[in-house]
Amino acid sequence: MDGFSIREARRNDLTAIGELWYELMSLHRRLDSRFHCAQQDIPEYTRHTYRMMKTRDARVLVVEWEKTGEVVGYLIGELQPRVYGAVRGVYGFVSDVFISEEYRRHGVGHTLFAEIKRWFVLRGATSVQLYASVANTESQAFWKAMGLEPYLTLLHLDL
């Protein structure tokens, strides 16, 4: 992971995070037409991200390329209570994670996920959950390598 650092997101990172989110959603749109994204959605997403930065039950991390100071990836993790169903208590939910394509395969994703897992454990979470697009085979392979396995499957029907 040489050349990268992981840190808490700051307010001045929101523009970069919004652009990375749009890059992620555009990738998903190319893989599956059911995903929608538009440039005009970025401000609402960055407002959501800022709200996540301010709550104590969420953590927004960024990956910074040390040579330039550019934010090249990010992750949003939240603590979620569950009082019913199979997963009881608090679990960690990774709602968003993305690293720009040219910065992948340097161990950044592994380190980013390890950091959010550590925080989840410190905050009392007993498991981690996330959604991963079935059409995104690279994402599927990454999460499998991180030790995640299928638990529930979200099914879909267009009406």
CB 90 within 8 A of CB 126: yes
Residue at 154 is within a domain: no
Tell me, what CATH number does 19's domain have?
3.40.630.30
Using DSSP, state whether 52 is helix, strand or coil.
helix
Q: Quick one: pLDDT at residue 159?
A: 81
In a domain, 82, yes or no: yes
How many domains would you assign to the chain?
1
In a domain, 19, yes or no: yes
Q: How far is CA 107 from the centre of its chain?
A: 15
Identify whether 150 is part of a domain: no
pLDDT in tens, the chain (159 residues): 688 999 999 999 999 999 999 999 998 888 888 888 888 889 999 999 999 999 999 999 999 999 999 999 999 999 998 877 666 789 999 999 999 998 988 899 999 999 999 999 999 999 899 988 888 888 888 889 888 888 777 777 678
State the residue range of the domain holding 39: 4-145
| 45 within 8 A of 21, measured Cβ to Cβ | yes
Q: What per-residue confidence (pLDDT) applies to 134?
A: 84
pTM for the whole structure: 0.90
Return the pLDDT at 37.
82
Q: What is the pLDDT of residue 157?
A: 63
- Kindly state whether residue 48 falls inside one of the protein's structural domains: yes
| pLDDT on residue 133 | 85
Q: Is residue 57 part of a domain?
A: yes
